[in-house]
Amino acid sequence: MSDIREVLDLEAVDADIFRGRAVPSKHKRTFGGQVAAQALVAATKTVSADKQVHSLHGYFIRGGKSAEPTVFLVDRLRDGRSFATRQVRAVQNGETIFSMQASFHIPDDVGPEHADRMRDVPAPEEVVDERALPRPGTRALLDDWVDWDVRVIDPAYYEKNPYTASQQMVWFRSTKALPDDDTFHVCTLAYMSDMTLLYSSLVPHPEHKVQMASLDHAMWFLRPFRADEWLLYDQISPSAAGGRGLTHGRIFNRDGDLVAVVIQEGLTRTLDPDK
């Protein structure tokens, strides 16, 4: 797996056109978080420095090929005084594999403030690194994520929400120090946000073999954070039906500040043993 700096280092091909390099992977298909993060980088390169991304909404249209570069085409939909909007298409071999809209906002607006509280969970140092656990379903993914420390908390060690069908708590961070650039950390979190989230839809169905793929992905960036410091990913799956799992994640920093919210729907189709 390439360093995240290489993943997010896009080449400017022409006005509002960028190219992301092929990233070595054990998987034939491109990791969804990589495409989303690169698309967000492309969008940020066309927005003035006085605005920061506050939300993105993306659809995974086709499976990307990890061995091939991806071209990102940016449309400047709006440039207002307080907000800017961009649309990005990720293209391989002339076909769109991912489509995203992102909105940017000036950082000094003021208004009412409140936030959810972080659940009481064990500190990350008290949780076993996922690489120490023999879980075949996530083995290949973890081998690709060598630069990330991912620790799923044993559900015996936190209080459950009795009204939630499925839940999972994960500590994660970059193991490498990252640049002192807020935009870099936001784009890195877009990459990280696709890690483990869809698996929260399978917590009640540990023996059920499924085909999995991200279908759509939305994020809201709420407060500053660093992706190379511990972040708690509080995940739930409100519903799974029709071969699709809906998931929702709240991301807190270690101080308990809510820094981002993610919603994702993914394919959770029962595997046909004859195929």
Query: Is residue 136 classed as helix, strand or coil in its secondary structure?
Result: helix
> DSSP secondary structure string, 212-227?
EEEEEEEEEE-S---T
User: What mean pLDDT comes out for the span 113-131?
Assistant: 91
User: What mean pLDDT comes out for the span 76-80?
Assistant: 98
Candidates 3.20.20.150, 3.40.50.12780, 3.10.150.10, 3.10.129.10; CATH matching 1-108: 3.10.129.10
Cα–Cα distance, 24 to 5 (Å, whole number)? 14
Residue 139 has pLDDT above 70, yes or no: no
For 140, the enclosing helix (H) or strand (E) is helix 136-144
Closest CA to 70 of 104, 25, 36: 36
The two three-digit tokens of residue 114, written as one number: 């409140």
* pTM for the model: 0.93
- Which residues have a Cβ under 8 Å from the Cβ of 129 and sit 6 or more positions away? 149, 150, 151
User: What mean pLDDT comes out for the span 231-242?
Assistant: 97
Active-site option among 194, 201, 216, 234:
194
Q: Which residue has the tokens 């307080």?
A: 82
Q: 122-275 — its CATH code?
A: 2.40.160.210
**Angle subtended by helix axes 32-44 and 182-192, to nearest 10:** 150
Residues above pLDDT 70, as percent of the chain: 93
Query: Is residue 124 classed as helix, strand or coil in its secondary structure?
Result: helix
For 92, the enclosing helix (H) or strand (E) is strand 83-92
| Per-residue pLDDT, 134 | 45
User: What mean pLDDT comes out for the span 108-118?
Assistant: 96
Neighbours of 155 (CB within 10 A): 12
pLDDT tens sequence across 186-210: 999 999 999 999 999 999 999 999 9
Residue 214 bears catalytic tag: yes
Write the Ramachandran bin of 112: left for phi over 0, alpha for psi from -120 to 50, otherwise beta.
beta
**Could you give the C-alpha distances from 31 to 42, 104, 146, in angstroms and in order?**
17, 25, 14
Residues above pLDDT 90, as percent of the chain: 87
Residue 16 bears catalytic tag: no
**Half-sphere exposure at residue 87, Cβ-oriented, CA atoms within 13 angstroms:** 7
Confidence bin at 132 (pLDDT 50/70/90): low
Q: Are 27 and 51 in contact (CB under 8 A)?
A: no
Residue 22 has pLDDT above 80, yes or no: yes
| Per-residue pLDDT, 272 | 84
Residue 237 bears catalytic tag: no
| Per-residue pLDDT, 99 | 98
Cα–Cα distance, 150 to 235 (Å, whole number)? 14
Closest CA to 9 of 184, 239, 241: 184
Active-site option among 166, 193, 214, 235:
214
User: What mean pLDDT comes out for the span 230-248?
Assistant: 97
Q: Where are the domains of the chain?
A: 1-108, 122-275
| Per-residue pLDDT, 23 | 85
Q: Are 159 and 120 in contact (CB under 8 A)?
A: yes
